[in-house]
Amino acid sequence: MTEIELLDSIKKNQDNFSELFKLYYKPIFGYILRRTGNFDDTVDIASDTFFNAFRNINKFSYKGISIKVWLYRIATNEVNMYFRNKQKYNLVFKSVDFENKDAFNSLLYEDRKEMETELHKHDQYLLVLISLKSLSIKYQEVISLRYFEGKENKEIAEILNINEGTLKSLLSRGLEKLRKKCSQI
Amino acid sequence: MEMQKFEEKLIQMTKPDVPHLKHEDMLANAITKAKDKSIVSWWWLSIPLYIVAALSMKTIFMPRTTLLSNLHELTSNERYASVIFFFVLPILLIIINVKSLRNIYFLSGNPQMITFLKGTWYHILILILSALILIIYSL
């Protein structure tokens, strides 16, 4: 199924949103985790990202950008809000009724254990992340999308809604700042 | 040269990967059944609109009165209530709806103008009505 067909099927029946969830939850979750380095915050931000997407999917027009880029854009905005406010208000867990909250919490516990083990396998990355978090958000987002997610400049520019020239200058300045920070550790 | 090495180091270093997430299916199921619990409603605007409509009726049925004179009479009799309904409430609704429009534009992902207008007519209508009430009040 192409993205356009998927979008049409969701607009006809919102239950089909779970198909979009299956396709993109893992990559978006990974992107948020690699930006925050914290499992619990990642669950909050990722669930808010998909909740926002679910509430606005009917307004989404495919002609502008792809669904994937759109989801990355929402996720980036949510992560930036998290870094700016620190105290995160989780929309999903206030609005959603879980049929079996204990079962959900127990699955979260298992995922947390697994993800924390995974995070600690990458010491070098964790050190770079500490330095990256001390930079301004505009540098964090471009460096993370380019070097952690391996995205091309064109796609990053689409996600951040900036032109490629601005992106290149942000990347070059951000990288220089990050290198200086890393050399201090 | 040093910069190039640093860039290569960033690309080559290992990064945490996400395996199968066990909570994924339950979360997807809960989100697709979620209801939007918004407290922002256009019904708040119905109070000043109702008053304006009542004053307009009074103007029609009572000769030698105008909408503005009736409104001025009301604002001098009910000073605090009129400030709340004709000034504070419309301004609040304008702020809330401008923020909502910005948010919807962002969440719609570069929508075409016609698509955007179709999806936001309700917010635009509230903006226009709020502005209208503010204008009537300030005359």
- For every residue of A115-166, DSSP letters joined together read HHHHHTT-HHHHHHHHHHHTS-HHHHHHHIIIIIS---HHHHHHHHT--HHH
Question: Rounded to two decimals, what is the model's pTM?
Answer: 0.75
Give residue B120's pLDDT: 80
Mean pLDDT of B75-102: 84
Residue B31 in any domain: the answer is: no
Name the residue range of residue B59's domain: 38-138
Residue B22 in any domain: the answer is: no
CB contact under 8 A, A95 and B15: no
Tokens of A169: 């200058």
Chain A, window 59-118: residues with a beta carbon less than 8 angstroms from a chain B beta carbon: 59-61, 63-65, 69-70, 73-74, 77, 92, 94-100, 103-104, 107-108, 110-111, 114-115, 118
Mean pLDDT of A139-152: 95
Question: What share of chain A has pLDDT > 90, as a percent?
Answer: 56
Residue B10 in any domain: the answer is: no
What's the domain count of chain B? 1
Residue B89 in any domain: the answer is: yes
Report ipTM (2 d.p.): 0.84
Mean pLDDT of B57-67: 78
Residue B18 in any domain: the answer is: no
Quick one: pLDDT band at residue B39, thresholds 50, 70, 90?
Answer: very low
Residue B8 in any domain: the answer is: no
Lowest mean pLDDT among A41-45, A71-75, B132-136: B132-136
Give residue B89's pLDDT: 83
Lowest mean pLDDT among A41-55, A128-142, B51-65: B51-65
Provide, as residue numbers in chain A, all residues whose Cβ is less than 8 Å from the Cβ of B107: 52-53, 55-56, 59-60, 74
Cβ burial of A121 (10 Å; 0-12, 13-18, 19+) is: exposed
Rg (CA), chain A: 17
CA dist A3 and B4 (Å) reads 37
Asked if A111 contacts B21 with a C-beta cutoff of 8 angstroms, the reply is: yes
Residue B132 in any domain: the answer is: yes
Residue B6 in any domain: the answer is: no
The partner residue sitting opposite B24, judged by closest CB among A25, A52, A125, is A25
Give residue A113's pLDDT: 93
Provide, as residue numbers in chain B, all residues whose Cβ is less than 8 Å from the Cβ of A179: 2-3, 6
